[in-house]
Amino acid sequence: MVTASDTSNVFRPDSWEALQQVLFTDSWDSKISRFRSSYIYRGQNDVNQRLTTSLIRLGGDYAKLERHLIRNFIKYAHRDTKQGDSLWNWLALAQHHGLPTRLLDWTYSPYVALHFATNEVENFHSDGVIWATNYVKLNERLPEKLKRIIKEEESNTFTAEMLQNVCINLTDLANIQQSEAFMIFLEPPSLDNRIVNQFALFSLISDPTLAPDTYLQDHKETTFKIIIPKELKWEIRDKLDQANITERVLFPGLDGLSDWLKRHYTPSLKMQQTAVSEKHMKIQVFGKVQGVYFRKSTQEKAQSLGLTGWVANQNDGSVLMHVSGSVVCCNQFMEWVQQGPQKAEVSEVRIQPQVPTIFEDFLIR
């Protein structure tokens, strides 16, 4: 099942099957009677991460620093590579090698985007997100001068050569239309197998201070988001690996191979609960601890700390609980147990380590 938000541009699939349905939304092109999507995609591991450029993330007076970054990159890179005189090819090369630029990476492949929403195991505790934007519709908002170029070429994206015919630098680009910022899509040259395998292209906004998510928010009719639930990430990741959508393919070379192997052999989260960083305890609390909302308060406290386990009243008037979770959160929980809820009177707390046990939630028994 796919849950849609009130605005209908945010979807949250609850299964692998539902995810396939939403990934290929509106992919049928009736003009050519083919399944050729007009959407491009970008995946991010954390749903709360903004869609911004590396130039904006640089901070400081980044808009003024942009030309210095590019000028010096071209100056010092000349001995290692040749990109001709086109600034747009140089920008693509700089972005490809990690220089902060106003470009943002996208892909034509929803599965490549899905990879980048699930490739960081350390973020499997957070929902991921895929941004999907209809670049063909966004082209309708281009200045006439740029529309004319892509119409003549019968293309939906620009190459460096096409853009060079209209503007030779970023100042020229901004001057095409100063009244309103616009976003164009640039297909880079096949610099290496990484760009080819990732089926990559870049977005480029005429105003370097305007974040892509802000621009797309103003054009909601062209964009939707897919929330990747954290509960699905392991299943998605394993199925992408089986489909050969991995770092080994997307980042050809020894670095990509090493990243793939490291992630491939990382234990699942359930297995990680047995690691040293986790605690598993049996806690028994004595005193005036029944009839004072002790179990309910315990459940709320444990859940707020992300702990799992259960709590139950005992025939001797005590409260018994099994608790599993991170060392830090377990230590905070134990401090709270010493006092208990407001009406409780704790006289004694007995704590014993337990063998690792997997719980899905913290329950009252």
DSSP structure string for 115-150: HHTT--GGGTTS-EEEEEEEHHHHGGGS-HHHHHHH
pTM for this one? 0.72
**How far is Cα 43 from Cα 49, in angstroms, rounded to an integer?**
11
Q: Which CATH number fits domain 274-364: 3.40.50.970, 3.30.499.10, 3.30.70.100, 3.40.50.720?
A: 3.30.70.100
Tell me 41's DSSP state.
Answer: E
Is residue 156 within 8 A of residue 185, CB to CB? The reply is yes
Reading the block at residue 251, the tokens are 């980042």
**Which sign, positive or negative, has the C-alpha torsion 155, 161, 166, 168?**
positive
Domain boundaries of the chain, sorted by first residue: 2-264, 274-364
Residue 222 in this model has a pLDDT that exceeds 90: yes
Mean pLDDT of 105-113: 97
pLDDT in tens, 238-277: 999 999 999 999 999 999 999 999 988 887 755 454 444 6
User: Which residues are catalytic, by number?
Assistant: 295, 313
Residue 77 in this model has a pLDDT that exceeds 90: no
**How far is Cα 297 from Cα 305, in angstroms, rounded to an integer?**
13
Residue 357 in this model has a pLDDT that exceeds 80: no
Q: Residue 205's pLDDT is what?
A: 96
Percent of the chain with pLDDT over 70: 93
**How far is Cα 290 from Cα 17, in angstroms, rounded to an integer?**
46
pLDDT in tens, 277-305: 678 889 999 999 998 789 999 999 999 88
Reading the block at residue 348, the tokens are 């004694």
Average pLDDT of the chain? Answer: 89
Reading the block at residue 225, the tokens are 């988001």
Q: Residue 81's pLDDT is what?
A: 58
Mean pLDDT of 152-175: 92
Is residue 203 within 8 A of residue 104, CB to CB? The reply is yes
Q: Residue 353's pLDDT is what?
A: 84
Q: How confident is the model at residue 359 (pLDDT cuts 50, 70, 90)?
A: confident
pLDDT in tens, 1-40: 556 554 568 999 999 999 999 999 899 888 889 999 999 9
pLDDT in tens, 178-214: 889 999 999 988 878 888 999 999 999 999 999 999 9
